[in-house]
Amino acid sequence: MSYIDGFVIACPTANKDKFITHAQLGDTVPIDLDARRVVECWGDDVKRGETTDFFMAVKAEEDETVLFSWIEWPDKAMRDACFAQMTAWMENPERADPRLDPEKNPMPYDGKRMIFGGFEAILDTGTSAATGYIDGFVIAVPNDKEAAYRKMAEGSAPIFLDLGATRVVECWGNDVPKGEVTDFQRAVKASEDETIVFSWIEYPDKAARDKAGELMMSDPRFAALGEMPFDGKRMIYSGFAPIVDLRK
C-alpha cells in the first residue's frame, strides 16, 4: 500500500487564485521527488458541526475556506527521503529550491494553523482517472478497534463504488504530530488511545456524489455492516472540489 501525507488548511477565500498559483508551483517539488500524486481540494460543501468540524479543526475565520489535500507516495521511505531533502534546503537557504522560497512563492494562508500528518494506506480501491469531486473524512478510531475498522472499510468500499464513487481510500495514522495551535488530534478530539484515520472518496463530479448520498440513506447494505467502531459524533466530513491535481 502507498503512504499518504494529509493536510487541512484554512485559506482566505479571496486568495483562491493565489493558492492555486502557489500550489501549481510548489506541489511540483514532491512530484519531482517521486511522489505519485498531489491533490488540493477547495471546500465546497463543508459541514458545520456541534462537536467537531473542518472549520474548528483549523480555526477558520468567516472569510476563509477550508482545503482538504494530500500527497501520495509509493512508500514511507520515499516520503521520508523527500522530507529530509526539504529540511536540508531549509537549513541551507542558499541551496534551496526556489519553488519553496517563501519570498518567491509566498504561502497565501496561515501555515501555523495548517494541520498535517503521515498515514499508511490500509485500503485503496477503484481508480482516480477523472476525479471531479471529493468527500473527505477525518476520524478518531480506538486503537483496539483497528481490525474492526478495517473490516468495516472493506465492507463499505464496494457499496460506495456501486453507488457511483470511482475510488475509496482509507489511511491509518502513522506519523501524526501534535501541534501548538492546531492538529489532527484536536480536530476530532482524539484521546491518547485513539488513532487518526484520514480518508476520502472520489467521484466523477458533484452530481454523482449527491446522488450517491441520497441512495446511501436507504441502502440496507450499510446497516448490515453493523455498529461503527468509532464515535461518529466526532467524525468530520465534507465535500471538496479539486483545484490542483498533479500526477507523476
Pair 66, 238: CB distance under 8 Å:
yes
Three-class DSSP labels, the chain? CCEEEEEEEEEEHHHHHHHHHHHHHHCHHHHHCCCCEEEEEEEEEECCCCCCCHHHHCCCCCCEEEEEEEEEECCHHHHHHHHHHHHHHHHCHHHCCHHHCCCCCCCCCCHHHCEEEEEEEEEEEECCCCCCEEEEEEEEEEHHHHHHHHHHHHHHHHHHHHCCCCEEEEEEEEECCCCCCCCHHHHCCCCCCEEEEEEEEEECCHHHHHHHHHHHCCCHHHHCCCCCCCCHHHCEEEEEEEEEEEEC
Question: Buried b vs exposed e over 142-175: b needs ≥16 C-beta within 10 Å?
Answer: beebeebbbebbeebbebbbebbbbbbbbbbbbe
Identity at 60, one-letter amino acid code: A
What tens-digit pLDDT sequence spans the chain (248 residues)?
A: 799 999 999 999 999 999 999 999 999 999 999 999 999 999 999 989 999 999 999 999 999 999 999 999 999 999 999 999 888 887 777 777 889 888 889 999 999 999 999 999 999 999 987 779 999 999 999 999 999 999 999 999 999 999 999 999 999 999 999 999 999 999 999 999 999 999 999 999 999 999 999 999 999 999 999 999 999 999 999 999 999 999 98
Which pLDDT score, from 0 to 100, does residue 227 have?
95
What pLDDT, on a 0 to 100 scale, did the predictor assign at position 62?
97
Q: List the CATH number of the domain containing 42.
A: 3.30.70.100
Indicate the burial class of 87 (C-beta count within 10 angstroms; 0-12, 13-18, 19 or more). exposed
Q: Whole-model pTM?
A: 0.96
Q: What is the pLDDT of residue 89?
A: 82
Name 144's Cβ contacts closer than 8 Å, sequence gap at least 6.
Answer: 193
| Short-list 216, 15, 26, 10, CA closest to 102 | 26
Q: What is the pLDDT of residue 128?
A: 83
Domain residue limits at 33? 3-247
Q: Residue 245: which of 122, 15, 111, 68 has the closest Cα?
A: 68
Please report the pLDDT score of residue 92 as a whole number.
79
Q: How many domains does the chain have?
A: 1
Task: Give how far the C-alpha of residue 41 lies from the chain's centroid of Cα atoms, to the nearest Å.
Answer: 9
